[in-house]
């Protein structure tokens, strides 16, 4: 027959639990801050050509829409398809992408309005790559 005598130190267990909880919370906060800082690269760099990708397209579109003056003079490279509406003239088109706006995959056309003297050369729904300097 074996008899075990265990002495439980409640102060030690409480301190251990609180330490583990604090380390976990700090770890989660650290990851969140890293993702915020890393995700904030959706604004346009002042030093070189900024490339829009499918991953950052809507973030940059929103940033430019909210504060267009910040992006004047910046060079940007992006791709999309030519989209026109009935009231555009021959030099205008939207370089568009489809953005999913709901869980049932409803989409909305979003993009940048482009003015180009030879825009009529591009047919609707043609995918193009553009490098543009905003002036």
Q: Is 34 helix (H, G, I), strand (E, B) or coil?
A: helix
User: The tokens 């130190």 sit on which residue?
Assistant: 9
Q: Are 90 and 118 in contact (CB under 8 A)?
A: no
Give percent of the chain above pLDDT 70.
86
Residue extents of the structural domains in the chain: 10-40, 45-133
- pLDDT class for 48, splitting at 50, 70, 90? low
Using CA atoms, how far apart are residues 58 and 62, in angstroms rounded to an integer? 6
pLDDT at residue number 135: 55
Residue 64 CB: number of other CB atoms within 10 A? 19
């Amino acid at each position: 027959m074996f008899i075990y005598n265990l002495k439980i130190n409640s102060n030690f267990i409480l301190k251990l639990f609180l330490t583990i909880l604090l380390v976990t919370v700090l770890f989660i906060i650290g990851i969140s801050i890293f993702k915020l800082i890393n995700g904030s690269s959706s604004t346009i760099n002042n030093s070189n050509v900024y490339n829009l990708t499918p991953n950052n397209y809507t973030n940059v579109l929103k940033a430019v829409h909210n504060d267009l003056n910040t992006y004047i003079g910046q060079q940007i490279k992006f791709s999309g398809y030519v989209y026109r509406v009935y009231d555009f003239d021959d030099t205008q088109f939207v370089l568009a992408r489809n953005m999913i706006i709901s869980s049932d995959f409803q989409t909305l056309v979003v993009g940048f309005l482009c003015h180009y003297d030879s825009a009529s050369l591009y047919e609707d729904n043609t995918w193009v790559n553009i490098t543009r300097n905003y002036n």
